[in-house]
Amino acid sequence: MNDAQPDDSLIVASRRRHRLVAGAALLAGTPGFLFCGLAHICMAGHMQHPPYPLWQSISDVFWCLAFAVAALAGFGSDMSPRALFSFLALSLVALRFVAGSAGGASFLVELPAWIALVVMFLRGVRRRPTAPGG
């Protein structure tokens, strides 16, 4: 083995760890994501009828950070397709906060995207790790 190149088994283990972190972050943020979509989205957008309890804002920040961590970890993982996983995770945050969930209409897109993320993670858990390039 050349000292300049890392051991393939270390790369495989690192990518698998990234997949597990991505999945754990996704699952940790899921209750907040679903609660947000069901509790404070209306035709006017996201949280447009204050006052809301502080814990709801904290919940929103937590699930957004969890989905961002999932996107970053997913991109460095062995998940297939990892770029799509990262894109969808970040898109859910953007749809909710930048687009205001389009007055609740984008929830019809957000739920299938969230389901796709969970399926991608679960498919990856069952897959056997392979060496890079193999």
In a domain, 55, yes or no: yes
pLDDT confidence of residue 44: 83
pLDDT confidence of residue 45: 81
pLDDT confidence of residue 3: 57
Angle between helices 8-39 and 54-75 (to 10 degrees): 150
In a domain, 117, yes or no: yes
User: Domain tally for the chain?
Assistant: 1
In a domain, 85, yes or no: yes
Give the residue ranges of the chain where pLDDT is below 50: 134
124, 27 Cβ separation under 8 angstroms: no
In a domain, 4, yes or no: no
In a domain, 2, yes or no: no
